[in-house]
């Protein structure tokens, strides 16, 4: 679920009012972990360290090109 | 040794291509590359992946131009050292980038950078210029629908301006002339000519393109890069060759050994130099930037944060393209 302006405003209002109290901050954290980490399909599991570029996304052609001497640090 | 600083494109092309190509996998990581995703093509990772912001920055979509340039650029060793050259996946991703850009504009065609309902002249100018360059690189025939859809953006761009900052005006000039060249739209061509006149008024006798009242070397090189693109698009702006030559003459003495600039003397405190216009016009200052690259002391696209790295990488790749022996 993407961030929207109303959600962002609501979150910030919570942060600067109830969020001043530690128990409310802890509750918010628990709710966010439940909603965005634990309660997700395994295939869609949120991870900030995912979805970076992978060379395999270019298909097969890049391997041959990458293996050429000038591109592997070997002497030519 | 003056000879070492003479204009010698042979080794320079690889020197400027390398930081841009090294930045490409990072920029691809900014992009939602899943065609099944509702945010496919969005290049603002803070929005579509981390969900930290409530709207995407349209300037992030300039990544589309970096991908298109990398797809079209064979590399200094003609296809051997650019793993992205001619790869089929890239044009599909580029189309996704611009579909997302078109869908996320305001109703009047303007685009947003930071907050809801912002009508950012800066973001609209630069992202539109990248859009028309992509259409040119991949072929305007395949972009007909997108060009038609984008018309309102170019009409908005022609009716709005920010005369405080020449670099944004130059980018809008590039976008307007690019759109007019691709579509033959007479209204946009007229708006482009008016924009050219407005930009001309932002230059002074010393060759400065004014940025908030003064010269800023970094932003002036951004302006000169956009104007170099305009010169390749149209002969309408007859004043440009002389203004660009004077503009280069104004910044060259400010680019010191190893390509460094004293940012305290810049009206906007910019630390970096965009190399493309220096390469295209064979400026002697390019050799000093090259010295800085060899010494690994010059700020390159890899040094910049997520917000600025893409546009800087685009300019490095354009510089490499300008330095190709056949170009």
CA distance B206 to B308: 28
Looking at the DSSP bridge assignments, the partners of residue B203 are B209
- How many of the other CB atoms lie within 10 Å of CB of B270? 18
Please tell me whether the interface predicted TM-score (ipTM) of this complex is above 0.90.
no
Q: Does A56 reside within a domain? A: no
- How many of the other CB atoms lie within 10 Å of CB of A50? 8
Provide, as residue numbers in chain B, all residues whose Cβ is less than 8 Å from the Cβ of A35.
none
Nearest Cα of chain B lies from the Cα of A66 at a distance, in angstroms, of 7
Measured CA to CA in angstroms, residue B289 lies from A17, B243, B311, B316 at distances of 52, 22, 18, 11
Least trusted range by pLDDT, from A44-53, A55-64, B32-41, B305-314: A44-53
Read off the pLDDT of each residue in A41-59 and give the average, rounded to a whole number.
Answer: 81
CA distance B42 to B93: 10
CA distance B176 to B163: 16
CA distance B112 to B114: 6
Q: Does A70 reside within a domain? A: no
Position A45 confidence tier, pLDDT thresholds 50, 70, 90? low
What is the per-residue pLDDT for B72?
96
Q: Taking 50 as the threshold, does the pLDDT of residue A73 lie above it?
A: no
Q: Does A64 reside within a domain? A: no
Kindly state whether B305 is in contact with chain A, defined as any CB-CB distance less than 8 angstroms.
no
Q: Does A1 reside within a domain? A: yes
pLDDT tens profile A5-36: 999 999 999 999 999 999 999 999 999 888 88
Kindly state whether B89 is in contact with chain A, defined as any CB-CB distance less than 8 angstroms.
yes
Kindly state whether B3 is in contact with chain A, defined as any CB-CB distance less than 8 angstroms.
no
Position B3 confidence tier, pLDDT thresholds 50, 70, 90? very low
CA distance B263 to B257: 14
Is residue B211 within 8 Å of residue B268, measured between CB atoms?
yes
Nearest Cα of chain B lies from the Cα of A30 at a distance, in angstroms, of 17
Nearest Cα of chain B lies from the Cα of A5 at a distance, in angstroms, of 5
- Chain A: residue whose CA lies nearest to B55: A4
Tell me the count of A-B CB pairs closer than 8 A.
58
Mean pLDDT of chain B, nearest integer? 94
Residue range(s) defining the domain that contains residue B45 = 2-323
Position B85 confidence tier, pLDDT thresholds 50, 70, 90? very high
Provide, as residue numbers in chain B, all residues whose Cβ is less than 8 Å from the Cβ of A48.
49-50
pLDDT tens profile B260-304: 999 899 999 999 999 999 999 999 999 999 999 999 999 999 999
- How many of the other CB atoms lie within 10 Å of CB of A1? 7
Q: Taking 50 as the threshold, does the pLDDT of residue B178 lie above it?
A: yes
Q: Taking 50 as the threshold, does the pLDDT of residue B1 lie above it?
A: no
Position A76 confidence tier, pLDDT thresholds 50, 70, 90? very low
Q: Does A17 reside within a domain? A: yes
Q: What's the domain count of chain A?
A: 1
Looking at the DSSP bridge assignments, the partners of residue B165 are B211
Provide, as residue numbers in chain A, all residues whose Cβ is less than 8 Å from the Cβ of B38.
2
CATH number at residue B27: 1.50.10.100
Q: Which residue has the higher pLDDT, A72 or B49?
A: B49
Q: Does A71 reside within a domain? A: no
Position B62 confidence tier, pLDDT thresholds 50, 70, 90? very high
pLDDT tens profile B116-150: 999 999 999 999 999 999 999 999 888 999 999 99
Residue range(s) defining the domain that contains residue A15 = 1-41
Q: What's the domain count of chain B?
A: 1
Q: Does A67 reside within a domain? A: no
């Amino acid at each position: 679920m993407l961030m929207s302006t109303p959600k962002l405003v609501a979150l910030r209002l919570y942060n600067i009012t109830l969020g001043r109290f530690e128990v409310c901050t802890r509750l918010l954290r628990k709710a966010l972990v439940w909603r965005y980490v634990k309660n997700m399909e395994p295939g869609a599991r949120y991870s900030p360290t995912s979805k970076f570029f992978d060379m395999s996304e270019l298909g097969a052609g890049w391997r041959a090109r990458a293996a050429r001497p000038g591109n592997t640090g070997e002497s030519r | 040794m003056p000879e070492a600083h003479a204009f010698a494109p042979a080794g320079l092309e690889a020197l400027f291509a390398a930081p841009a190509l090294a930045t490409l996998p990072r920029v691809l990581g900014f992009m939602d590359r899943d065609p099944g995703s509702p945010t496919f093509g969005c290049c603002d990772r803070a929005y579509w992946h981390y969900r930290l912001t409530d709207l995407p920055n349209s300037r992030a979509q300039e990544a589309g131009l970096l991908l298109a340039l990398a797809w079209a650029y064979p590399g200094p060793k003609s296809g051997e050292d650019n793993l992205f050259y001619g790869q089929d996946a890239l044009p599909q991703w580029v189309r996704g980038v611009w579909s997302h850009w078109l869908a996320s504009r305001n109703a009047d065609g303007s685009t947003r950078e930071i907050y809801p309902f912002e009508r950012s002249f800066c973001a609209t100018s630069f992202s539109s210029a990248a859009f028309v360059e992509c259409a040119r690189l991949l072929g305007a025939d395949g972009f007909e629908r997108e060009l038609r859809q984008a018309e309102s953006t170019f009409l908005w761009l022609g009716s709005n301006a920010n005369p405080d900052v020449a670099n944004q005006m130059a980018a809008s000039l590039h976008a307007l002339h690019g759109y007019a060249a691709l579509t033959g739209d007479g209204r946009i061509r007229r708006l482009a000519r008016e924009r050219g006149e407005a930009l001309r008024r932002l230059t002074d006798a010393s060759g400065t393109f004014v940025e908030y009242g003064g010269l800023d070397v970094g932003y002036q090189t951004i302006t000169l890069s956009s104007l170099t693109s305009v010169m390749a698009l149209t002969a309408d702006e007859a004043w440009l060759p002389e203004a660009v030559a004077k503009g280069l003459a104004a910044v060259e003495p400010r680019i010191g050994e190893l390509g460094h600039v004293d940012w305290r003397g810049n009206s906007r405190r910019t630390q970096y130099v965009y190399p493309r216009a220096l390469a295209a016009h064979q400026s002697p200052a390019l050799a000093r930037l090259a010295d800085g690259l060899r010494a690994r002391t010059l700020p390159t696209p890899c040094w910049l944060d997520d917000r600025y790295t893409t546009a800087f990488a685009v300019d490095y790749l354009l510089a490499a393209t300008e330095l190709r022996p056949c170009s």
